[in-house]
Structure 1
């Protein structure tokens, strides 16, 4: 399945540490698209591993992660407003 993951980590006392770990975990499974946005193709088991690892770091009262799932990336369309990063983020066509 095709995944788009977006996160917001509160930058309080422990936020920088949480942010580093969340970023590294996401980078292990997905392609980094933009600041706190990742995308890529994952199996169900890979998605489960990803969410399990993230659950260890995300603070439910301060941070949030949204995971968009789609069976096929061909159903998605990408439009840039402002800086066009299509050379760096060519996962959508």
Structure 2
């Protein structure tokens, strides 16, 4: 499945969350990652993020797309992440 991860976490946890998420997904821009992920790795990612995050203060949203066939991506301004994945 293809996912987009968007997160808003405390300053002390930002680098830990980014480092963990980059094991599974491609960095796009500040607090946003995306990429193909297996069901097993999706479960691992959620578990590992839950261990890092303070669930009373932090939040993360994961958008799931079964296929990228009917999606598109438009960038306004500078592109911060790499061009590893183009929808």
TM-score (norm 1): 0.84
Tell me how far 1:87 sits from its aligned partner: 8.2
With over 3 angstroms needed to count, the CA separation of the structure-2 counterparts of 1:70 and 1:82, relative to structure 1, is same
Structure 2 unaligned residues grouped into runs of 5+: none
Task: Report matched runs for 1:64-75 at 5 Å.
Answer: 64-75=59-70
Tell me how far 1:88 sits from its aligned partner: 2.4
1:55 matched to which residue of 2?
50
- Higher helix proportion (structure 1 or 2): 1
2:40 matched to which residue of 1?
45
Structure 1 unaligned residues grouped into runs of 5+: none
- Where 2:69 maps in the other structure, the secondary structure is helix
Tell me how far 1:86 sits from its aligned partner: 8.5
TM-score (norm 2): 0.89
1:14-53 Cα deviation digits (max 9, x unpaired): xx2x212111110100000101100010111110000010
- Where 1:33 maps in the other structure, the secondary structure is strand
Q: Which runs of 4+ in 1 moved over 4 A?
A: none
1:89 matched to which residue of 2?
83
Aligned length: 87
| Higher radius of gyration, 1 or 2 | 1
Residues in 1 aligned to 2:81 and 2:45: alpha-carbon distance in whole angstroms: 26
